[in-house]
A and B are shown apart, each in its own frame.
Chain A
Amino acid sequence: MMLGANSDIYVAPATGGIPQRLTTSPGIDTDPSFSPDGSKIVFESDRGGSQQLYVMNADGTGQRRISFGGGWYAAPVWSPDGGLIAFTRRGQDGRRIGIIKPDGSDEKVLTTGPGDEGPTWAASSREVLFQRTGAGGRNGLYRVALDGSEPRQLTTPQDGSDPDWSGVMD
């Protein structure tokens, strides 16, 4: 939610009502994602000077940074089984998709880029779907397994972007 263009994370009842503000930093806080049990939220913030991933309790307490691999981290998404967070990492060599544990350990880059972004999880938590911008600016959808195998293109008749995988078990 933006007030005066300073983006912060708010939480609001699904039935409507007054949103409760969870972050108060002067930086840009955005891209929140709940843990599946609803107890925690991962988000991105540039409060420390560059975009990084932070985890906090669902009431806004206990905010701490979990990404320290260099470059910028963005668009975190919590896996359905709660064990991992997928993200887009930006560096000098472009944008790649990666995964990390919620405590900041075991970071792993899944794709080679250079134009990958917008990860979304399979219900199984074993695969990630994402958007790849290729040469010439064409967007396509790709899926990649966590075992380090090559991403496979999801063929669509037109360009595709901003995927969101349904919660149905595949």
Chain B
Amino acid sequence: MRKSAFLLVLLLGASAADAQLPFLRKRDNQPQQPVLQGIDALRADFAAQAGGTTVYYGAESVILGAPARAALTLQANWLRKHPEVVVRIEGYGDGLDTRDRALAVGARRAEEARSYLLLLGVPAAQVSTSSWGKERPGLGRAVTVLVR
């Protein structure tokens, strides 16, 4: 008889402690925000600090316009502060281009973006390029992807 009373008190005690620490319950009921680590955290920080990972080109154009240069300047600032991070710039062709042309245009767009980063002091070994051609059609653009 005494034993069951003791158990009852213990349970009540636990319940009271719960009431005093509401954050414990809150944590149980709501999904936790995932904490980004490693490359994912770096990607999020790069995208936030550089205002995005993409630079856009005009239709048929492989020339960097003023908005594209501004975007790359922010990217270069971040990359110079993180020399341990290696990135790949992926160029896209225009959807209406023929296959070989789209591949060549995507490569040129990626290379133009890379050259501008190098001009702003980013080490050459930190930046590689590739082209998607028309395999992933979309607006003419080059996207900087953090590799490691």
Contacts and interface: CB of A to CB of B under 8 A. Distances in A.
Contacts of A90: 96
A28 B101 CA distance: 8
Instruction: Tell me the interface secondary structure of chain B in the complex.
Output: helix
A28 B104 contact: yes
A159 to B, nearest CB: 15
A96 interface: no
Interface stretch (B16-24, B34-42, B106-114): B106-114
Contact of B98 (A2, A5, A75): A75
A118 B98 contact: yes
Contacts of A7: 104, 107-108
Instruction: Tell me the interface secondary structure of chain A in the complex.
Output: strand
A65 B48 CA distance: 48
B129 interface: yes
B104 A88 contact: no
B105 interface: yes
Contacts of A51: 101
B100 A30 contact: yes
B102 to A, nearest CB: 10
Interface of A: 2, 4-7, 28, 30-31, 44, 51, 74-75, 88, 90, 95, 117-118, 162
B99 interface: yes
A5 B101 contact: no
A74 B60 CA distance: 14
Given A90-B96, A95-B96, A2 B107 contact: yes
A75 B96 CA distance: 13
Contacts of B129: 5
A6 B100 CA distance: 13
Given A2-B104, A5-B129, A7-B104, A31 B98 contact: yes
A118 B101 CA distance: 12
Contacts of B131: 5
Interface in B98-148: 98-101, 103-105, 107-108, 110-112, 129, 131
